[in-house]
């Protein structure tokens, strides 16, 4: 009821009879002469919250127009990235902390490549670079490599994700750390390795605690965006669903064997990157020499990837050696500041309060600044919706996630795959997802969640999803 009225639960306090000497509880079961029990009672304090803007209807748009609209709305959500790196935001503090550590270890100043440089033309050389006016993540890094031998650069990119949770989303803010060396010989190579290792050790120490720690994972596959996937057991099952669901009697049927069910390949195509999402920038992982890559995760989420640049990159930039590190700032900020929901970092409605904390280390006392979002929305209501659709070659899970985040105004806390149904007779697959709506920065009523879900369903139908 309070969400419907545009209020959020801001504070909870114990109710003590001694503090309210003149208070008398009445009205138990409508009887004014009979009061309620007040032992263990709580005082709820509500404040006005920032309500959602009007929800635009998208049912009249064509497929191409709707896809463009989805990408634009998602871009508006991620446009808050520029606000994330201003003073007073935890990501700004995190970036400065890392930059200070880099300057201390390397004994030199790392140049910070600001976003205003993005408008500059990208240097063309041997076919590397883009003539298009759109500046991609890769363009920005390549341009920085041609200008500076030691730099850091921040950005945001879409990542492959097999589920959306309060700890991970389909996009991330990242920090690129790059260092080049022009000396030759074994001593230079030793310096490259030792400096990179020292920085990696300090990063892991700075942002690990007794509950959250990093572990290295196998990176033999490749260094493309697949390494950023947040795997789940259910989604992994989807890749082999066609084989696992085949009934014994169907396997014995000659007709079924000869039919060559294509659901397995259909499922693989559904889980691929969607080529139509051209305006969304990808993670810039193509600069790494695959044989040198090391990947570190916190639980199932990649937080750091490090390695050496490809020889083509070194030749293009005119350097002899170097190393490159990509850091998932969102996850590190959540660990460092005990942030419970990743959507706090993207909110345009929240402010951040600084709180000094003291932590006892092995050999010294570490004083840190913790950031707390305000106003706090305690125990925001959650609204659960399920959605199910038949997949085809015209749709992808990435497009489903992107459309969901864009059209629900970032009000979805969680999206998890709950079931894959295989119709063996018709050779069709349907994916079923459970979605939890909730806002961290304002009120969200049941009616608003229903309206958002209905708008999403109409949009998915236009985009080619076979809703059930």
Strand partners, 423: 428
In-domain check, residue 213: yes
The secondary element (H helix, E strand) that includes residue 355 is strand 351-360
Question: Are 169 and 306 members of one domain?
Answer: yes
Question: Are 15 and 139 members of one domain?
Answer: no
Write a three-state SS string for 327-383: EEHHHHHHHHHCCCCHHHHHCCCCEEEEEEEEEECCCCEEEEEEEEEECCCCCCCCE
Residue 89: CATH number of its domain = 3.30.930.10
Spatial contact of 373 and 347, defined as CB atoms under 8 Å apart: yes
Spatial contact of 308 and 288, defined as CB atoms under 8 Å apart: yes
In-domain check, residue 48: yes
In-domain check, residue 127: no
Question: Are 181 and 215 members of one domain?
Answer: yes
Q: What pLDDT sits at residue 467?
A: 92
Question: Are 295 and 420 members of one domain?
Answer: no
Question: Are 104 and 195 members of one domain?
Answer: yes
Question: Are 109 and 206 members of one domain?
Answer: yes
Domains contained in the chain, number: 2
Q: What pLDDT sits at residue 170?
A: 82
Phi, psi (rounded to 5 degrees) for 421? -100, 130
Per-residue pLDDT of the chain (468 residues; tens, 9 = 90+): 678 888 989 889 998 888 888 888 877 766 777 777 888 889 899 989 888 888 888 878 999 999 889 888 887 777 655 677 788 899 999 999 999 999 999 888 899 987 654 434 434 344 333 334 456 778 888 899 999 999 999 888 887 667 888 888 888 889 999 999 887 765 667 778 888 889 998 888 877 765 566 778 775 544 444 444 444 444 455 545 444 444 444 444 444 444 456 788 888 888 877 777 754 467 788 899 988 898 888 777 788 999 999 999 999 888 888 999 999 999 889 888 889 999 999 888 888 998 887 665 555 556 677 889 888 888 999 999 999 999 998 899 989 999 999 899 889 999 999 988 888 788 888 999 999 999 998 999 999 999 999 999 999 999 999 998
In-domain check, residue 366: no
Last residue of a domain, one of 288, 323, 345: 345
Strand partners, 11: 45
Instruction: Measure the CA–CA gap between 178 and 150, rounded to whole angstroms.
Output: 6
What's the token pair of residue 12?
A: 């909870």
What's the token pair of residue 281?
A: 């920038």
Question: Are 287 and 139 members of one domain?
Answer: yes
Instruction: Measure the CA–CA gap between 419 and 396, rounded to whole angstroms.
Output: 16
Spatial contact of 313 and 295, defined as CB atoms under 8 Å apart: no
In-domain check, residue 460: yes
Instruction: Measure the CA–CA gap between 387 and 468, rounded to whole angstroms.
Output: 8
Question: Are 320 and 437 members of one domain?
Answer: no
In-domain check, residue 261: no
Question: Are 414 and 463 members of one domain?
Answer: yes
In-domain check, residue 236: no
In-domain check, residue 173: yes
Question: Are 321 and 210 members of one domain?
Answer: yes
User: What letter would DSSP give residue 139?
Assistant: H
Question: Are 196 and 317 members of one domain?
Answer: yes
Identify the domain containing residue 332 by its residue range. 85-114+135-220+276-345
Spatial contact of 196 and 328, defined as CB atoms under 8 Å apart: no
Helix axes of 446-462 and 397-407: crossing angle, nearest 10 degrees: 140
Last residue of a domain, one of 345, 367, 398: 345
Question: Are 333 and 393 members of one domain?
Answer: no
Last residue of a domain, one of 295, 324, 345: 345
Neighbour count for residue 308 (Cβ, 10 Å): 20
Residue 69: CATH number of its domain = 3.30.70.380
pTM for this prediction: 0.80
Q: What pLDDT sits at residue 349?
A: 84
Q: What pLDDT sits at residue 140?
A: 86
Q: What pLDDT sits at residue 71?
A: 84
Q: What pLDDT sits at residue 156?
A: 84
């Amino acid at each position: 009821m309070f969400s419907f009225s545009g209020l959020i639960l801001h504070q909870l306090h114990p109710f003590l009879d001694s503090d309210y000497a003149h208070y008398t509880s009445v009205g138990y079961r409508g009887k004014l002469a009979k009061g309620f029990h007040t032992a263990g009672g709580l005082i709820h304090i509500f404040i006005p919250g920032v309500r959602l803007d009007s929800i635009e209807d998208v049912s009249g748009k064509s497929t191409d127009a709707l896809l463009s609209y989805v990408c634009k709305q998602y871009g508006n959500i991620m446009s808050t990235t520029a606000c994330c790196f201003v003073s007073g935001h935890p990501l700004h503090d995190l970036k400065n902390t890392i930059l200070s550590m880099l300057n201390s270890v390397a004994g030199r100043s790392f140049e910070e490549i600001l976003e205003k440089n993005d408008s500059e033309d990208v240097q063309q050389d041997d076919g590397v670079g883009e003539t298009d006016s759109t500046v991609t993540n890769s363009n920005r890094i390549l341009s920085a490599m041609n200008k500076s031998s030691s730099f850091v650069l921040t950005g945001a990119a879409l990542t492959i994700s097999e589920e959306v949770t309060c700890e991970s989303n389909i996009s991330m803010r990242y920090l690129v750390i790059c260092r080049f060396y022009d000396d030759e010989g074994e001593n230079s190579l030793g310096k490259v390795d030792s400096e990179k290792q020292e920085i990696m050790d300090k990063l892991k120490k700075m942002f690990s605690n007794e509950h959250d720690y990093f572990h290295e994972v196998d990176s033999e596959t490749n260094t493309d965006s697949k390494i950023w996937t947040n795997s789940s057991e259910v989604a992994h099952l989807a890749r082999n669903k066609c084989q696992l669901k085949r009934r014994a009697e169907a396997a014995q049927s000659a007709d079924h064997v000869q039919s060559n069910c294509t659901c397995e390949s259909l499922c693989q195509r559904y889980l691929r990157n969607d080529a139509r999402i051209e305006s969304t920038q990808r993670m810039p992982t193509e600069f790494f020499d695959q044989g040198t890559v090391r990947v570190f995760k916190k639980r199932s989420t990649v937080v750091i990837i490090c390695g050496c640049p490809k020889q083509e990159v070194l030749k293009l930039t005119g350097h002899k050696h170097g190393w490159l590190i990509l850091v998932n700032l969102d996850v590190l900020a959540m660990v460092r500041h005990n942030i419970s929901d990743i959507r706090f970092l993207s909110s345009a409605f929240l402010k951040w309060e600084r709180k000094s904390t003291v932590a006892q280390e092995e050999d010294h006392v570490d004083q840190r600044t913790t950031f707390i979002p305000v106003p706090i929305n305690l125990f925001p209501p959650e609204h659960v919706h399920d959605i199910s659709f038949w997949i085809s070659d015209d749709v992808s899970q990435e497009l489903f996630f992107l459309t969901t985040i864009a059209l629900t105004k970032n009000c979805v806390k969680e999206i998890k795959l709950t079931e894959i149904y295989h119709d063996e007779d018709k050779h069709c697959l349907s994916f079923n997802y459970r979605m939890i709506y909730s806002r961290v920065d304002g009120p969200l009523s049941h009616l608003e969640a229903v309206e958002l879900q209905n708008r999403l369903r109409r949009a998915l139908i236009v985009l080619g999803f076979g809703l059930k």
